[in-house]
Structure 1
Amino acid sequence: MSAPHPTDPDGHRYAPAVRSAMSVFTQGGDTLALETAAAVRSAAQAVERLRGQGVDGRGVSAGALDVLVRLSSAGAEGLSIGELARAGGVSSRNVTGLVDTLERERLAARGADPQDRRSVRVHLTVAGQDWLAAFREPSRRAMAALFDGCTPQELAQLRHLCLRLVENQQRIERGQ
């Protein structure tokens, strides 16, 4: 286990190696935004590593897990590929591949849309429900351990800031 990060005079953690590298990169300029981006990336990787530990060996990628969770909250009517893509912020082609994988694992199934015969709906199977039930508690424990020491207010603020980053990125992509 690595040592805890040192803190600056305001009591905020930082990574000395990142700060040093960013200082060289900015030629001695302000490094805060770049250090923050590196910290966000490191935190996202930590979450994915923990999440992946629960998924590995179970035949499901993080993307497929997201689809399973969305299907579990969709109810009996399921979701279309387009709805899954919009909800996940990914392409329909990406979701189609994930659903193909989930069907091979018998965790999800495609079925006819009763409202539109040209369309299909994706449903969670009983095996998919069982898989999620088995995954739920280890996942909850892993996330509780990851966020150990964080107050509910800190978690809400972190969520808020991360979603603000996502909104800013989407605005930049739209050219606004």
Structure 2
Amino acid sequence: MRAFALGDDTLALEAAAAVRSASQSVDRLRAHGAGGRGLSSGALDLLTRLGTADEHGLTIGELARAAGVSSRNVTGLVDTLERETLARRVQHPQDRRSVRVTITPAGRDWLDAFRAPTQRAMSAIFRGFTPDELAQFRHLCLRLVANQQQLEHYLGGGQQSVN
């Protein structure tokens, strides 16, 4: 790490590397569970978001902003979810020009079947952590995300562009 750093203070770089490694570990475990059930991690993320939405669902743009990806990317993932009958596109009840995506009963069943083994896997990966440590870890991760979002807003001039 010192070879990469501009000085002796490598703690932030080491922390960032640790966060990335931890995130990749959790993502690999999650993707393994989703892949074994026929979904990519991106499609799983969308299905999870749709599972928490109200009965009107979400627009492609809302899904893209929430996931931090382009609308084009979300459109492809929604195509996958529709092919698997886990989600469907519907016209917005008040605005016929607006298309929304909703989860289907099969999508809810899929999430229910995925939930228990995922919770067991997450419990295993966090084995040895106390409840207080997990709460603190969650808090620190959310602070990291908030800092990143503020920095992105500042660097982007306050505008976020999602295609």
Aligned pairs, number: 155
Tell me: CA distance 1:126–1:29, structure 2 relative to 1, closer, same or farther (3 Å).
same
After TM superposition, give the deviation of residue 73 of structure 1 in Å.
Answer: 1.5
Tell me: CA distance 1:48–1:28, structure 2 relative to 1, closer, same or farther (3 Å).
same
Question: What is the identity, as a one-letter code, of the residue corresponding to 1:150?
Answer: F
130-139 or 81-90: bigger deviation: 81-90
Once the two structures are superposed, what CA deviation does each residue of 1:76-124 show, in whole Å capped at 9, x if it has no partner?
2211112222322333222212111111111111011111000111111
Residue 173 (structure 1) aligned to one of 145, 152, 161: 152
Tell me: CA distance 1:114–1:146, structure 2 relative to 1, closer, same or farther (3 Å).
same
| Larger RCO, structures 1/2 (Cα 8 Å, 6+ apart) | 2
Q: TM-score, normalised by structure 1?
A: 0.81
Structure 2: stretches of 5+ with no match in the other structure: 156-163
Question: What is the identity, as a one-letter code, of the residue corresponding to 1:137?
Answer: A
SS at match of 2:2: helix
1:25 is the counterpart of 2:15: no
Question: What is the identity, as a one-letter code, of the residue corresponding to 1:145?
Answer: A
Once the two structures are superposed, what CA deviation does each residue of 1:46-67 show, in whole Å capped at 9, x if it has no partner?
1011101111132211111111
When Rg is computed on C-alpha atoms for both structures, the one with the higher figure is 1
Q: TM-score, normalised by structure 2?
A: 0.87
Counterpart in the other structure of 1:67: 46
Query: What RMSD over aligned residues (CA atoms) do the two structures have, in Å?
Result: 1.7
Structure 1: stretches of 5+ with no match in the other structure: 1-21
After TM superposition, give the deviation of residue 25 of structure 1 in Å.
Answer: 2.6
After TM superposition, give the deviation of residue 24 of structure 1 in Å.
Answer: 2.8
